[in-house]
Structure 1
Amino acid sequence: MPSFQTKLKITGLKPGNAPESVMAAAVEALETRHHVESNQLDIVGGVPQISLRFTVGDRDYSGENDEARTSAAMMRDAVERVAVTGSLYVLRRSRGRWSPV
């Protein structure tokens, strides 16, 4: 199974939401479609960024990438219910490196 990673900048919380709700929304959304291998919060250039690593079922290369992009967009939609987001990145693990999809 190919491994993907999505990274999403978080620029603020929406009123009434705890910081923990951001990661919870992201993981919950991705888990509806994929196995989430790991998640973490980093501060990149002073901006919080969540990263989730997940697998996509075996298909053709292009189909796997499309599914990963669709799932990452769905995850962002879920997070936007509790937070204000910035840039979204989707990366694929290939030969020991992460490459943009």
Structure 2
Amino acid sequence: MPSFRATIQITGLRPGHAPEEVMAMAVAAVGAAHVVEANQLDVVAGVPRITVRFMVEASEYDAENRLARDAAASMRHGVKTVATTAALRSYRRSAGKWLAL
């Protein structure tokens, strides 16, 4: 199965939500349709960024990419219920490198 990852910058928390809810929501949103391989939190130039790595069922190349983009959009939608966000990016693993979709 092809491997993908989605990253999103977190710019703040919505009132009444804890920091742990952000990653939990991201993983739940992607995991609702795909197998989540890993997740991590990084701080890049002072801005928190979460990454969720997941697999998409193997099919036709463009269809796999569409599913991955949809998963990233679902992740953003879910995360926005608990946090404010900025840049969302999606990547596909190919020949040992992460290529932007």
Which category describes the TM-score, using the shorter chain as reference length?
over 0.9
Structure 2: 5+ residue runs without aligned partners? Answer: none
What is residue 7 of structure 2 aligned with on the other side?
7
RMSD (Å) for aligned C-alpha atoms = 0.4
What is residue 29 of structure 1 aligned with on the other side?
29
Output the TM-score relative to the length of structure 2: 0.99
SS in 2 for 1:28: helix
Offset from partner CA, 1:20-52 (integer Å, 9 cap, x none):
000000001111100000000000111000001
Structure 1: 5+ residue runs without aligned partners? Answer: none
What is residue 95 of structure 2 aligned with on the other side?
95
What code does the residue aligned with 1:35 have? V
Output the TM-score relative to the length of structure 1: 0.99
Q: How many residues align?
A: 101
What is residue 50 of structure 1 aligned with on the other side?
50
Percent identity for Structure 1 against Structure 2:
52
State how far apart, in whole Å, the 1-side matches of 2:2 and 2:43 are.
27
TM superposition shift of 1:79? 0.3
